[in-house]
């Protein structure tokens, strides 16, 4: 069967310098069809007699071969070109020949007819069609040297073009990283380069940033969590044929914190393989830029009070073992850590949207904040502090107070003085102060500071105002709300509830609601059935299905506790503070 070839003058011809895509696409290796469109090949009047469906296969090399045992000279990826000099004319010899060429990994077979062979035997045609091997006959004699020169030049040019394109991609995302572009800007750049929607999500399948291109944003993100849950990948970068998504994990290799998803809307087999390679290159470089940006934001510090910051960072190091050097350095800074009560603290400063004076740059504001905390410390007798800026408008500190002084007495006076000092700054409109557990052991200070950060963060959404907050002021829901963006909590929720969430999505059920109400009622089946408006046999059936899906006994105390915590964490990640009780639409 002959297949119509594109005209050499067509605007999308790979040889046309005016091709609109040639300067902007990563074209990759030429395909068999690209080779057949070369003038040096077209002179032979090529006729595709088999394997037309495989013409998009990439040609790594073109190999002229006249030996009858040509499989010994092939490595895979070649397009074989022969005049048939060494080929046996017997029809039965063509079947093993076609098998040998296919088994070697060659992507096509071109034979010149007329001089040694008038046609390809039917047996050879049948086997080539069965193996989907592109088999092309040439009706006229051509100069093989012209063909090899043209193809090898095309391959070399494509390699150079690919390298230039990869360098351009690398430079683009390097510049974005150096310029301090945020995640939204990086995602937008990916979408503009690939001209398709792009989504950045976390481990809970929540969208962190997106570029919708020309697709309505509501349509793009409709049911996103459920759609994303259906697409699970193991490699760092993988393609999902069901959704036509290209997905790249973002973060460290062993601890990713999200996925970057390209939505081209077209299956790569229907596109040029090089387009898919370009998307993969851009996605992976963007993922690297996003991961690096997250590290930069997490570790940002100011330049002031370097000694205190260095010392405090060393104290907060989880691997802290040798405390003698740190206590000596702290003593040299005027802060005694031995035989004292140590308390971690966190101060979050609220800035006024209409300040009384022109706001200063972030670094200058941090210096003023630190100075205000130092003045508050000076107002409290026999108290020392180490202070560090953890991020804009937030400070970490370690307070050292006498062993005999009640910590609550100190916290009341210290927090009040902090509020007074910060309140005098013209661009400040108050602060949230958090404190951790009091300790006398230096290695425990890191935990105390972590508790203080959690308390200050959780208090930001509270209506009740206090001079200071401690973690004990919040229930478990407050703690889970605080940790909702932690990848470990997200991984825990997926481990405990992922199978059940996926089952509900696939089958249109709502067993998660049944489990939620059952746990909330203390595993009381009678109360649960009444609340869900279900008969007891129906409830028993649903509970049995839940245990089958989760592969656990949900009435076991440890299992029930884990599931209950996972459900509360899921609510926090979805922004739901409470769940209405009642029968689901379909359970």
Cα 148 to Cα 86, 98, 152, 156, 199: the distances in Å are: 19, 22, 6, 12, 44
CATH 3.30.450.30 domain extents, the chain: 180-298
Query: Residue 587: what pLDDT?
Result: 37
pLDDT band at 266 (very low <50, low <70, confident <90, very high): low
The residue with tokens 């040297």 is 145
Residue pLDDT, tens place only, 118-174 = 888 888 888 889 889 999 898 888 888 888 888 888 888 878 887 888 888 889 999
Say which DSSP state 60 is in.
S
Cβ 162 vs Cβ 169: under 8 Å = no
Residue 303 confidence (pLDDT) above 50: no
Rounded to whole angstroms, the Cα distance separating 74 from 87 reads 16
What is the Cα–Cα distance from 344 to 339, expressed in whole angstroms?
16
CATH 3.40.1390.20 matches 32-155: yes
Among residues 446, 455, 454, 447, the alpha carbon closest in space to that of 485 is found at 454
Whether residue 360 contacts residue 368, with contact meaning beta carbons closer than 8 Å, is answered with: yes
**Percent of the residues in the chain that have a pLDDT greater than 90, as a whole number:** 24
Note the pLDDT of residue 539: 92
Q: By the 8 A CB rule, do 328 and 388 touch?
A: no
**Which pLDDT does position 299 carry in this prediction?**
42
Instruction: Tell whether the model's pLDDT for residue 88 goes beyond 60.
Output: yes
Long-range contacts for 415-418 (Cβ within 8 Å, ≥24 apart)? 415/467, 415/468, 416/467, 417/375, 417/376, 417/379, 417/380, 418/347, 418/372, 418/373, 418/376
Percentage of residues in the chain with pLDDT exceeding 70?
86
Answer CATH for 180-298 from 3.30.450.30, 3.80.10.10, 3.40.50.300, 1.10.150.170: 3.30.450.30
Answer with the residue of higher pLDDT: 333 or 53: 53
Which segments of the chain belong to CATH 3.30.70.100? Answer: 306-474
The one-character DSSP state at 442 is G
Model-level pTM?
A: 0.48
489, with CB counted inside 10 A (0-12, 13-18, 19+), is buried
Confidence of residue 550 (pLDDT cuts 50, 70, 90): very high
pLDDT at 13 (0 to 100) = 33
Q: With 90 as the cut, is the pLDDT of residue 541 above it?
A: yes
How many whole angstroms separate alpha carbon 293 and alpha carbon 97? 56
Largest CA distance in the chain: 107
Mean pLDDT of 102-114: 88
At 353 the pLDDT is 55
Query: pLDDT by residue (tens digit) across 190-220?
Result: 999 888 899 988 888 888 888 888 888 778 8
Beta-strand pair 198-202/255-262:
antiparallel
Alpha helices in 392-524 (DSSP H): 407-423, 445-459, 476-482, 487-507, 511-520
User: Kind of pairing, strands 394-402 and 237-240?
Assistant: unpaired
What pLDDT score was predicted for residue 103? Answer: 87
The correct CATH number of 306-474 out of 3.30.70.100, 3.20.20.10, 3.40.640.10, 1.10.3720.10 is 3.30.70.100
Q: At what angle do helices 536-550 and 511-520 cross, to 10 degrees?
A: 110
**pLDDT at residue 18 is higher than 50:** no
Least confident segment among 55-69, 278-292, 412-426, 573-587: 573-587
- Residue that wins the pLDDT comparison between 342 and 476: 342
Confidence class for position 248, pLDDT limits 50, 70, 90: very high
Q: What is the mean pLDDT of the segment spanning 575-584?
A: 42
- 173 vs 179: CA distance, rounded Å: 10
Nearest to 275 by CA among 165, 388, 119, 404: 165
**CB count, 10 Å around CB of 477?**
15
Angle, helices 144-178/183-194, rounded to nearest 10 degrees: 160
Helix (H) or strand (E) holding 526: helix 525-531
Of 62-76, 120-134, 412-426, the poorest mean pLDDT is in: 62-76
What is the residue-averaged pLDDT of the chain? 81
pLDDT at 586 exceeding the cut of 50: no
| Model pLDDT, residue 585 | 35
- Res. 300 pLDDT band, cuts 50 70 90: very low
Distances (CA, A) of 493 to 196, 396, 483: 31, 30, 12
Nearest to 497 by CA among 550, 554, 436, 431: 550
Domain 487-573, CATH among 3.40.50.450, 3.40.50.300, 1.10.630.10, 1.10.10.2840:
1.10.10.2840
Q: What is the pLDDT of residues 452-471, one digit of tens each?
A: 988 887 776 565 688 998 88
User: What is the C-alpha to C-alpha distance for residues 265 and 213, in angstroms, rounded to an integer?
Assistant: 12
Residue 257: the pLDDT is 86
DSSP codes joined into one string, 210-229: EE-TTS-HHHHHTTHHHHHH
Q: Are 341 and 403 within 8 A, CB to CB?
A: yes
Cβ contacts of 255 within 8 Å, gap of 6 or more: 487
């Amino acid at each position: 069967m002959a297949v119509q070839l594109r005209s050499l003058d067509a605007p999308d011809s790979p040889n046309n310098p005016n091709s609109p895509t040639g300067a902007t696409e990563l074209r990759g290796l030429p395909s068999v069809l690209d080779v057949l469109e070369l003038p040096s090949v077209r002179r032979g009047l090529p006729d595709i007699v088999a394997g037309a469906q495989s013409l998009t296969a990439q040609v790594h090399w073109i190999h002229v071969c006249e030996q009858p045992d040509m499989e010994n000279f092939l490595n895979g990826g070649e397009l074989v070109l022969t005049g048939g000099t060494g080929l046996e004319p017997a029809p039965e010899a063509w079947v093993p020949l076609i098998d040998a060429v296919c088994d070697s990994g060659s992507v096509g077979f071109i034979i010149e007819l007329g001089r040694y062979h008038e046609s390809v035997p039917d047996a050879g045609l049948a086997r080539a069609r069965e193996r989907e091997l592109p088999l092309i006959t040439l009706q006229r004699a051509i100069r093989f040297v012209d063909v090899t020169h043209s193809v090898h030049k095309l391959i070399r040019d494509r390699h150079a073009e690919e390298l230039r394109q990869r360098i351009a991609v690398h430079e683009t995302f390097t510049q974005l990283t150096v310029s301090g572009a945020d995640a939204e800007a990086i995602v937008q750049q990916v979408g503009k380069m690939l001209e398709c929607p792009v989504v950045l999500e976390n481990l809970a399948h929540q969208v962190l940033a997106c570029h919708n291109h020309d697709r309505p944003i509501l349509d793009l993100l409709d049911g996103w969590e459920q759609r994303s849950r259906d697409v699970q990948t193991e490699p760092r970068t993988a393609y999902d044929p069901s959704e036509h998504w290209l997905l790249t994990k973002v973060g460290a290799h062993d601890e990713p914190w999200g996925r970057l998803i390209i939505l081209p809307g077209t299956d790569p087999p229907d596109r040029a393989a090089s387009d898919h390679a370009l998307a993969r290159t851009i996605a992976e470089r963007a993922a690297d830029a996003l991961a690096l940006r997250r590290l930069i934001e997490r570790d940002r510090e100011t330049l002031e009070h370097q000694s205190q910051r260095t010392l405090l960072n060393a104290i907060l190091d989880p691997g802290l073992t040798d405390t003698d050097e740190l206590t000596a350095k702290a003593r040299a800074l005027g802060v005694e850590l031995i035989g004292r009560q140590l308390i971690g603290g966190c101060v979050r400063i609220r800035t006024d949207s209409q300040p009384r004076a022109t706001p200063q740059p972030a670094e200058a504001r941090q210096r003023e904040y630190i100075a205000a905390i130092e003045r508050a410390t000076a107002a409290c007798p026999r108290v020392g502090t180490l202070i560090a800026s953890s991020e804009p408008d937030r400070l970490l500190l370690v307070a050292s107070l006498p062993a005999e002084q009640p910590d609550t007495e100190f916290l009341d006076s210290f927090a009040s003085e902090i509020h007074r000092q910060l309140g005098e700054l013209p661009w400040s409109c108050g602060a949230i102060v958090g404190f951790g557990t009091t300790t006398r052991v230096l290695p425990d200070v890191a935990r105390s500071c972590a508790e203080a950060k959690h308390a200050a963060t959780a208090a930001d959404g509270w209506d009740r105002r206090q001079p200071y907050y401690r973690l004990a002021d919040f229930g478990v829901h407050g703690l889970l709300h605080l940790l909702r963006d932690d990848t470990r909590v997200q991984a825990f929720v997926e481990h405990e509830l992922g199978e059940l969430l996926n089952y509900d999505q696939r089958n249109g059920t709502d067993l998660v609601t049944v489990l939620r109400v059952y746990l909330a009622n203390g595993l009381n089946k009678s109360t649960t059935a009444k609340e869900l408006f279900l008969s007891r046999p129906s409830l028993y059936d649903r509970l049995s299905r839940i245990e089958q899906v989760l592969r656990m006994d949900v009435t076991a105390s440890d299992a029930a506790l884990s599931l209950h915590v996972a459900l509360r964490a899921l609510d926090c990640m979805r922004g739901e503070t409470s769940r209405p009780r009642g029968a689901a639409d379909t359970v």
